[in-house]
Amino acid sequence: MNHQPFGRFIDMAVASGTPLPPGTFTITPEENRRLAGVLGADPEDTTAHPLWAYVATQRGIGIGVADLCALADFDVADGPMLGSVDMELRAPLAVGVEYRVTGEVLSIVRKEGRKTGPFDIMTYRERLLDGDGAEVVSTTNTFILPRRAA
């Protein structure tokens, strides 16, 4: 990927509201048992562990982290950092159910740190939708994207 040096104008308005490619995700019984085992939860529970709210949205959306960062003209080799995650779980997650995953970029905001220098905060939302289209999970995530001087 050809990235321009810091200082290139990034049209933040274009990135804000940009839809992310949709995808699907199914929590398999085996994956749920493995995750439950790692977390010390009941591996025979027929509902998925709530941690799947984050995992399913990240794995199910139709774009990888590198391409997501590229929307902000950022190369993952420069070290994006997870800033925050806000999850809203509206219903228990089911094992063996295919969920549709959608999302969009909410904002990209340029900041300047006294010690860190310039960085962007990219905020994006992902949702899990059930077969009826009802939102089961919403996650709002921020990536901190440090900018390097040219």
pLDDT, tens digit only, all 150 positions of the chain: 333 333 344 555 556 788 999 999 999 999 998 888 888 877 666 788 889 999 999 999 999 999 999 888 899 999 999 999 999 999 999 999 999 999 999 999 989 888 888 999 999 999 999 999 999 999 999 999 999 765
Residue 4: predicted pLDDT: 35
Residue 38: predicted pLDDT: 86
Spell out the residues 6+ positions from residue 25 whose beta carbon is closer than 8 angstroms to its own: 56, 57, 59, 60, 98, 99, 101, 128
Question: Which pTM does this prediction carry?
Answer: 0.82
Residue 3: predicted pLDDT: 35
Spell out the residues 6+ positions from residue 40 whose beta carbon is closer than 8 angstroms to its own: none
How far apart are alpha carbons 81 and 86 in whole angstroms?
A: 15
The tokens for 16 are 């804000």
Residue 41: predicted pLDDT: 77
- Whole-angstrom CA distances from 39 to 35, 43, 94, 146 are 6, 9, 18, 32
- Do the strands 117-129 and 98-113 form a parallel or antiparallel pair, or are they unpaired? antiparallel
Residue 8: predicted pLDDT: 41
CB 99 within 8 A of CB 26: yes
Residue 113: predicted pLDDT: 87
Angle between helices 52-60 and 29-39 in degrees, nearest 10: 130
Query: According to CATH, what is the number of the domain 12-146?
Result: 3.10.129.10
Residue 17: predicted pLDDT: 83
